[in-house]
Amino acid sequence: MKLLSKKAMCNSHGQDSSYFLGWEEYEKNPYDETRNPKGIIQMGLAENQLSFDLLESWLTQNPDAAAFKRNGNSIFRELALFQDYHGLPAFKDALVQFMSEIRGNKVSFDSNKLVLTAGATSANETLMFCLADPGDAFLLPTPYYPGFDRDLKWRTGAEIVPIQCTSSNGFRITESALEEAYKEAERRNLRVKGVLVTNPSNPLGSTLTKKELQLLLTFVSTKQIHLISDEIYSGTVFNSPKFVSVMEVLIENNYMYTEVWDRVHIVYSLSKDLGLPGFRVGAIYSNDDMIVSAATKMSSFGLISSQTQYLLSALLSDQKFMKNYVSENQKRLKKRHEMLVGGLKQIGIRCLESNAGLFCWVDMRHLLSSNTFDGEMELWKKIVYEVGLNISPGSSCHCTEPGWFRACFANMSEDTLNIAIQRLKAFVDSRDNKDDIQNQKHSNKKKSFSKWVFRLSFNERQRER
């Protein structure tokens, strides 16, 4: 008799993906400037560590928030006993205000339609539980965040059908790709319940255009399905075009109070914009009262601590600080992005043009030994084990074209990023030198063969005479 559940014994978590395997190799041999300078540099983790000094400065200037005090009086007991899964009203009000600020105050949010969750991971899974039954499908444009295979499918039983996007148009979503994905789901006898997109995209680092968002809204309207817009990177946009939320396009296209209005849901988190993944702060925003009600009940399985909510409500309510923080953080992201893109360009490696996020979508197709995913894995293993960099191969993101990789740039110091670029340069140079030697050998063989043919021909002619 088996003593464990099927879920415990199944292999559907996705932990065997190269995305997670790269992390495991890094953890065995992590780079450290002094203790382990030859270790693996972690470029597979989308963390934002560029603006901690700003947050730490605010904490120093606002000691009451971190000490759980209000007007100088301790509220520790009050917070320690609070366990309402609706969340602290002050925090929810501050969070929706911050979400509006990031979107240029072009849209506003109602805190009564906000559900707090323990991070965006929990938010996305909760929406799956609310919108899909086991065996139902959601369409996702490729390439997509590898963790979605775990977050959306593992416990819910939902399925993912890829919307195949290609480099020919910068991996943009097209009507034909949407329709083909829907037909593929039908061929697999899957009921499509919706489309999920990340905007800005992880791993592309690019924002969706208004045209793409309008296309998506038309598609879900026609098919009578849901649209989830994961906008976790909305505050990281550092170059034009500016970020456009699906909520803005809904209003512009007069979808308010239609059926579509209730079928569009936003996921958000403070993990990327504020660099606080350890605080586990996420949220679902929906205009559908039933979704809000069901998701709120489900949130009891993954609450945000009341202490965290109190601290962050004080931080987010300081609008002057937050405005300066967002602006300065975006400047730092832009500088770091330019550093990586420029460094790679100097060694002959180009990146997809991007304007957001904590990573670049890197084109290494010219370094493949063969234009196959086996060739991609061969290159990836060399970069991990020989070069000492953990980057995420495109195949882990379900990219249809081998040779693309996601490289993160905001989770390390400038010095460490420079070392990573120099390591990659040495690797490319060594490959080029090997190619030169091989070409020289090939050229010498051709010359020797030509001389041999000439001598043979000459001797034949001499004999004929």
Catalytic residue, from 19, 31, 144, 145: name it.
Answer: 145
Q: What Å distances lie between residue 130 and 101, 136, 294, CA to CA?
A: 28, 12, 7
3-class DSSP assignment, residue 205: coil
145: annotated active-site residue: yes
Cα–Cα distance between 368 and 402 in angstroms, integer? 8
Is 19 one of the annotated active-site residues of the chain? no
Give the Cα separation of 78 and 68 in Å (integer).
Answer: 10
Whose structure tokens read 């339609």? 113
Residue 325, helix vs strand vs coil: helix
β-strands 264-269, 392-393: how paired? Answer: unpaired
DSSP reduced 3-state for 312: helix
Are the CB atoms for 418 and 344 separated by under 8 Å?
no
Q: Assess whether 232 carries a catalytic annotation.
A: yes
Q: Cα dist. 188→135, 152, 176, 448 in Å?
A: 10, 18, 18, 59
Residue tagged active-site, from 136, 149, 151, 230: 230
Instruction: Report yes or no: 325 and 54 within 8 Å, Cβ to Cβ.
Output: yes
Pairwise CA distance, residues 41 & 384, whole Å? 9
Phi, psi at 163, each rounded to 5°: -95, 110
Residue 175 three-state SS? helix
Which position among 173, 272, 285, 349 bears the catalytic label? 272
Buried b / exposed e along 269-296 (16+ C-beta atoms within 10 A): bbbbbbbbbebbbbbbbbbbeebbebbb
SS3 31: coil
* Annotated catalytic residue, options 232, 291, 304, 421: 232
Q: Active-site residue 268, yes or no? A: no
First-last CA distance in the chain: 94
Phi, psi of 396 (to 5 degrees): -70, -20
Is residue 47 within 8 Å of residue 277, measured between CB atoms?
A: yes
Q: Report in angstroms the alpha-carbon separations of 103 from 38, 97, 198, 236, 282.
A: 42, 10, 15, 11, 17
Q: Which residues are catalytic?
A: 145, 230, 232, 272
